[in-house]
Amino acid sequence: MLRIYFLLYLSKFKIETKHLKEIIQWVSTGEQAEEYALSEDEKRYIRKVVHYTNVLSHFVLFRSKCYDQALTVKKILNEKKIPVALSMGLEITEPGEKDMKAHAWVNFRDWVVIGGKISNNYTPLGSFY
Rounded CA-CA distance 95/75 in Å is 36
The tally of domains found in the chain comes to 1
Number of H-type helices and E-type strands within the chain:
4, 4
Q: Report pLDDT digits (tens) over 54-79.
A: 999 999 999 999 999 999 999 999 99
Q: Report pLDDT digits (tens) over 90-115.
A: 988 777 666 788 999 999 999 999 99
**15, 68 Cβ separation under 8 angstroms:** yes
pLDDT band at 120 (very low <50, low <70, confident <90, very high): confident
Which residue range(s) make up the domain with 12? 2-128
Cα 58 to chain centroid distance, Å, stands at 16
The pTM of this model reads 0.92
- Give me the half-sphere count of Cα atoms (radius 13 Å) on the Cβ side of residue 27: 32
